[in-house]
Amino acid sequence: MDTFSGKVGLVQRVLPVYRAPFFNALSQSCPNGLSVFTGQPRAEEMIKTTSTLVDAALVQGKNWHFFHGNRYLCWQSGLRGWLTRWEPDVLIVEANPRYLSTPGAIRWMKSRQRTVIGWGLGAPPLSGALADLRRNRRLALLSQLDGMITYSQTGAAEYASLGFPKTESLWPPTPSPLRRPTPCPLVPPSKLASRRVFSSWADCKPARTSPTCCRPARTDPKGSSLKS
């Protein structure tokens, strides 16, 4: 089983129940600890969340929700305090510029020369009256990250088009169609010499088993490369 010797911090706006088994499994690769910071969704979102993790620490902050639809914004109270207490060596954040507290968390890590990795679905083209503003905010956030993890080749290609070079391709196993796909977000800082995109699928597995890890892709012309 691949392990990472440092402390890992992971920020989620909300933590759906279906992701809990993955984080419990991922913690087995983090012998010095995995701590997940999260908040609660709006009632109308009807997202079933979990309040506990078996093998990873779960810290509840408070989400402040502003506006709706394309104008939605979220501030997560307690994030800075959690960082100060946990002192992660690697921080994994959702690469969503709508989450207003994320840039501060990134600055906190960068001021200590620590790695920050983004996790997202992709960066599709924007349209509408606020497209330019949203694009600039997206680029500002992405430019601060050391690497990106995404769910698909399409998402990886979108991130690569925004400046994340495909310096290394990682191709994980294909998940069962009966399971929700979850990215494998553990990337040691030593592997982040340059900003890269990781396209990864990992099955949600019981806590007693090791998580599916990303493996280097073969240099086969028929193989798929990471999308960023």
pLDDT confidence tier of residue 41, bands split at 50, 70 and 90: very high
pLDDT at 197: 58
Tokens of 138: 């997206």
pLDDT, mean of residues 12-29: 91
Instruction: Return the closest-CA partner of residue 202 out of 34, 42, 22.
Output: 22
Q: Has residue 79 got a pLDDT over 70? A: yes
Query: Which residues make Cβ contacts (< 8 Å) with residue 7, sequence separation at least 6?
Result: 30, 32, 33, 34, 35, 86, 87, 88, 89, 90
Q: With H, G, I as helix, E, B as strand and everything else as coil, classify residue 36.
A: strand
Q: What is the pLDDT of residues 87-132, one digit of tens each?
A: 999 999 999 999 999 999 999 999 999 999 988 888 888 888 788 8
Q: What is the pLDDT of residues 49-78, one digit of tens each?
A: 999 999 899 999 999 999 998 889 999 999
* Among 14-18, 142-146, 170-174, 202-206, the least confident range: 202-206
pLDDT at 181: 39
Which domains does the chain possess?
8-199 (3.40.50)
In percent, the amount of the chain with pLDDT more than 90 equals: 43
pLDDT confidence tier of residue 208, bands split at 50, 70 and 90: very low
pLDDT at 154: 82
H-helix segments, the chain: 20-26, 79-86, 102-110, 131-142, 153-160
Q: What is the pLDDT of residues 22-40, one digit of tens each?
A: 889 888 889 999 999 999 9
Q: What is the pLDDT of residues 133-189, one digit of tens each?
A: 888 888 899 889 888 888 777 888 888 888 776 543 233 333 333 344 344 443 433
Q: Has residue 227 got a pLDDT over 90? A: no
pLDDT at 134: 84
pLDDT at 94: 94
